[in-house]
Chains A and B, each alone.
Chain A
């Protein structure tokens, strides 16, 4: 072959192999394990490239003449020897290129050795500790998280134990983060929302990164009141501004305080490990606790809705036009569907057997709503539940669970299941947040479920607005007239129904109130129930909604356990509305 051809061929081949190695060097390790970080393929590429370079240089020199003198031969050899070293320097340059540009993202990620030790760039860890992460503030702008800088390292302290569970923990070195700390990490850490010019200036002058602040819709007074109402009882309370969807209070039990997981990086180096172990211990306890305190109950807790679900059944029935509020239903204290017997102890008058739809709702008659469930039918029950947001993740600022229409597929095909779903037992599971939104929809003129808002605004440390959340509608499940009819029936429930007869109407508060209690059997053998109450109240141009669930309590009743707590909170809220 022509030396020139060999030379160019080997150079082209070498370029190809280097290109391949640079693109895929980390991907093809033994076992195809991306986390293996083996360099074998790349090193092999370099070896082959080196040999090809030598070949190219070898044929790059003009061949020596046959009759060359000893002096000329040595000169020729010397030039060739030089190319050996040159080839080595070329390989070095590629190695530097790879180390400094190509694989930087890959090796900045945490790597865990077989012994589960973390291997990560200490600068990245250090940088995470020096980022002056944004704080979180309540609706009035009071800080819920404080930041203290010592020797460039930032200590993060959680100030309000009532709101902290929503803020979540932030533990970059140990467990990652949760709650708002996780979902708004981009803004808090300053990656998003910072003026690019300011960010570049800070980067070039090696100033610490400053994050943006979150302004929540939470009113600390209501949050504290709600938590006090709940006490140590399992359950959750969500209070919402029905017009804007802003969450004013959101508490749940069991919960945890992220302050106990907050790492203090400003401690002396010798206390560092002890602190890490201590926090690890607390974390393990939280993680292994069978009551799962790490779950945010108001958004991730799933509860059987009981009679509060009758609101959905009623809406479905009226929206489908299968009956009207004055339609009469038979209720003789029990309902038998295909051999399954459902008792109805709720009739205020045990001798009366004919009840209207409205009365069925006001007095929470299971037999009536069992028949309503049958009248709607399984397919439409499911269809309307989905229109109300079941099986869909609510768009929210912290993780949510989807409310479930049933747990076993095909459950609603059976008539007894259709009946029990009609009055809210069945296999339905809902989140307190979802139910607060449901109540809110009937306080609104448009009958829509508002999109819930927890983070109202994001601002820079200097209070410049980065992003404001606008109120939005999430779902509009009903015709406007159906929504108005249901609203009126809810008002009747809160005036003349069981709710109203027990003080749910909030006389003297000056508000229009609609509400529905519910009691769900969790463990009938031991008499353990869920007590529910959902309500809305409008006063002036304000509208509020609330959902209260009392979980896992022996003999719990919505009327006696959940509703008084909601009333206390609503009274306080309404008293502050002009």
Chain B
């Protein structure tokens, strides 16, 4: 029951957000002007194409105004952060458009527009987040059905079976699956947190939760490893498992869970790698790991992509070649998974670290929102969503820089790709919505 304050507070103007939004607006504008002015470009951009930038700036203003009118007290940092990242994505899609990629720039604008719409629908429409909690098993079930369906009926692209194809659009269910999984885990951990913590079965020095409560977690570990084998995709598995461990730790505070979980995951991964020598079904794992350990001997064959990405980064140096001045086309699929390499080449170490900075700020803001929410479910949900942003960035940037074995993932808000952008905006919407469920004492 809400107590209406006797003195009506003056509705705050969202001035912080408005000021911060100047940066992404200018970024998109200047970026597009540079793309237009570069000589010898592959696509003949001209001043007419600035409409994309103005649509983007319009989206920023509309979102800002809608929130100012209806939800003035919601978080003011999330929108500028995701807008800055989207501006980078927009510039890169304009920069990387070629005859081979098709009109990715205008499509990216469309997806970003749909993204902001999704964002507003979630923020304004989802009055009661607790509804999500009520249907947690439904979400889990739906997610698993989707995964199973895509495994059976999906379309195989680049060796991984991840997409449903509807006409010209393709849809990647694992993007949605990660949200459903986070919702389920948040609800489950909030329900069972006390039980998981209270009972202390011990396996040697390691405290274990009671067996019935351990099962779902082992189940998730199993699903993660299974998707890796069946869908031939490592990224989603790593992401699910990483988010799961972060949320589990937030709930229990037990480092031993993380250590055991990571150990099991790495052991499972290593086992798959060892088995992959003999089993064709697992060959993709071996290819990825070998390309990670030393890509050079197969630099003209299987490791071509990662080697080209390393050349791109090396070419960039501190300040980069300048937007439109590099040659990132040598990397296959540069506009999706490898967009970070293009940023590294054209904007240099400065640009790449800038992106990482924006990402870490976004994650921090998410955790900050989590710390200020009123109940466990909200808290775990905010942690899970932030962890998705963070870990997804870690996995894909770590992959293209050859810190870890590569796994196909999109760089949140930057990579070209419809479903990924929509889901990212959806999650950002959930975060902003959660920021309203503030504990007024804090």
Query: Footprint of B on A, CB under 8 Å?
Result: 36-40, 43, 46, 58, 64, 70, 73-82, 84-86, 88-89, 91-93, 95-97, 99-101, 103-104, 107-108, 111, 113-114, 117-119, 121-123, 126, 152, 206
> Tally of A-B residue pairs with Cβ under 8 A?
149
The verdict on A101 contacting B310 (CB below 8 Å), with A86-B360, A113-B300 known, is no
A86 to B387, CA, bound (A): 11
Chain B: minimal CB distance from A12 (Å): 23
User: Which residue of B has the minimal Cβ distance to A88?
Assistant: B394
Is there contact, CB below 8 Å, between A107 and B311?
yes
Complex interface: chain A residues within 8 A of B296 (CB): 36-37, 111, 113, 119
User: Which residue of A has the minimal Cβ distance to B247?
Assistant: A81
Q: Which of A38, A81, A117 contacts B294 (CB 8 A)?
A: A38
Chain A: minimal CB distance from B423 (Å): 19
Chain B: minimal CB distance from A129 (Å): 13
Is there contact, CB below 8 Å, between B327 and A92?
no
Is there contact, CB below 8 Å, between A85 and B299?
no
Interface residues of B in 269-296 (CB under 8 A from A): 293-294, 296
Complex interface: chain B residues within 8 A of A91 (CB): 398, 403
A37 to B327, CA, bound (A): 24
Is there contact, CB below 8 Å, between B370 and A85?
no
Is there contact, CB below 8 Å, between B402 and A95?
yes
The verdict on A99 contacting B297 (CB below 8 Å), with A88-B390, A104-B314 known, is no
User: Which residue of A has the minimal Cβ distance to B366?
Assistant: A82
Is there contact, CB below 8 Å, between B253 and A77?
yes
Is there contact, CB below 8 Å, between B317 and A100?
yes
Q: Is B170 an interface residue (CB 8 A)?
A: no
Q: Mark B161-201, 1 if CB is under 8 A from A, else 0.
A: 00000000000000000000000000000000110000000
Chain B: minimal CB distance from A10 (Å): 15
Q: Which of A81, A99, A108, A113 contacts B246 (CB 8 A)?
A: A81
A91 to B402, CA, bound (A): 12
Is there contact, CB below 8 Å, between B250 and A123?
no
The segment out of B20-28, B66-74, B91-99, B351-359 that lies at the interface is: B351-359
The verdict on A103 contacting B314 (CB below 8 Å), with A77-B252, A84-B246, A93-B353 known, is yes
Complex interface: chain A residues within 8 A of B383 (CB): 78, 81
Is there contact, CB below 8 Å, between A95 and B294?
no
Q: Is B376 an interface residue (CB 8 A)?
A: yes
Q: Is B397 an interface residue (CB 8 A)?
A: yes
7 sampled A-B residue pairs with Cβ under 8 A: A37-B296, A40-B293, A99-B344, A99-B402, A119-B299, A121-B311, A206-B322
Chain A: minimal CB distance from B339 (Å): 14
Complex interface: chain A residues within 8 A of B349 (CB): 96-97, 100-101
A230 to B147, CA, bound (A): 82
Complex interface: chain A residues within 8 A of B193 (CB): 70
Is there contact, CB below 8 Å, between B359 and A100?
no
Complex interface: chain B residues within 8 A of A78 (CB): 250, 367, 370-371, 379, 383
Complex interface: chain B residues within 8 A of A40 (CB): 293
Q: Is B213 an interface residue (CB 8 A)?
A: no
User: Which residue of A has the minimal Cβ distance to B297?
Assistant: A113
Is there contact, CB below 8 Å, between A89 and B250?
no
A119 to B252, CA, bound (A): 49
A118 to B297, CA, bound (A): 10
Complex interface: chain B residues within 8 A of A99 (CB): 310, 313-314, 344, 401-402
Is there contact, CB below 8 Å, between A39 and B402?
yes
- Other A-B contacts than A78-B371, A107-B310, A107-B314, 5 sampled, CB-CB below 8 A, are A37-B294, A43-B403, A80-B249, A96-B344, A113-B297
Is there contact, CB below 8 Å, between B352 and A75?
no
Is there contact, CB below 8 Å, between A121 and B294?
no
Complex interface: chain A residues within 8 A of B317 (CB): 100-101, 104
Chain B: minimal CB distance from A196 (Å): 18
The verdict on A81 contacting B356 (CB below 8 Å), with A111-B299, A113-B298 known, is no
Chain B: minimal CB distance from A208 (Å): 11
A103 to B364, CA, bound (A): 31
**A43, A78, A122, A123 — most chain B CB neighbours (10 Å):** A78
Q: Which of A46, A111, A126 contacts B403 (CB 8 A)?
A: A46
Is there contact, CB below 8 Å, between A100 and B398?
no
**B252, B253, B348, B370 — most chain A CB neighbours (10 Å):** B253
Is there contact, CB below 8 Å, between B353 and A75?
no
Complex interface: chain A residues within 8 A of B308 (CB): 122
Complex interface: chain B residues within 8 A of A118 (CB): 300
Chain B: minimal CB distance from A48 (Å): 14
A107 to B310, CA, bound (A): 8
Is there contact, CB below 8 Å, between A74 and B294?
no
Q: Which of A74, A82, A96 contacts B401 (CB 8 A)?
A: A96
Q: Is B160 an interface residue (CB 8 A)?
A: no
Q: Is B41 an interface residue (CB 8 A)?
A: no
A75 to B369, CA, bound (A): 11
Chain B: minimal CB distance from A99 (Å): 4
Complex interface: chain A residues within 8 A of B381 (CB): none
A123 to B252, CA, bound (A): 51
Q: Mark B373-400, 1 if CB is under 8 A from A, else 0.
A: 0001001000100010011011001100
